[in-house]
Amino acid sequence: MADTSGSRFENMGRRVDEHLGSAIPRVEEEIKKVISYLNDEVVPNIRQDSAQALRSAAERLGKLADRLDASRTGRSPSER
């Protein structure tokens, strides 16, 4: 009885290995496609959006600095 169940387990293991073995090249190909998509589409958009966000933040920080300077001197930022 132990030999039969061991043999069944080995056969099942072989079948699983066969299925996984045939799936691995497809998985690798899909991973390559995902990496290409990220590099070609996502990364450039993130870089562009990041640059725009930095410009916006710089502008806002400049305005804040103007307000801080004006509050120190008692003038409004438009009087500078």
What pLDDT is recorded for position 74?
A: 77
pLDDT along the chain (80 residues), means of 10: 70 85 87 95 93 94 93 69
CA dihedral angle for residue 44, residue 47, residue 53, residue 57, rounded to 10 degrees: -160
What pLDDT is recorded for position 15?
A: 86
Length of the chain: 80
Q: Compute the distance between CA of residue 73 and CA of residue 80 in angstroms, rounded to an integer.
A: 10
What pLDDT is recorded for position 1?
A: 46
What pLDDT is recorded for position 4?
A: 63
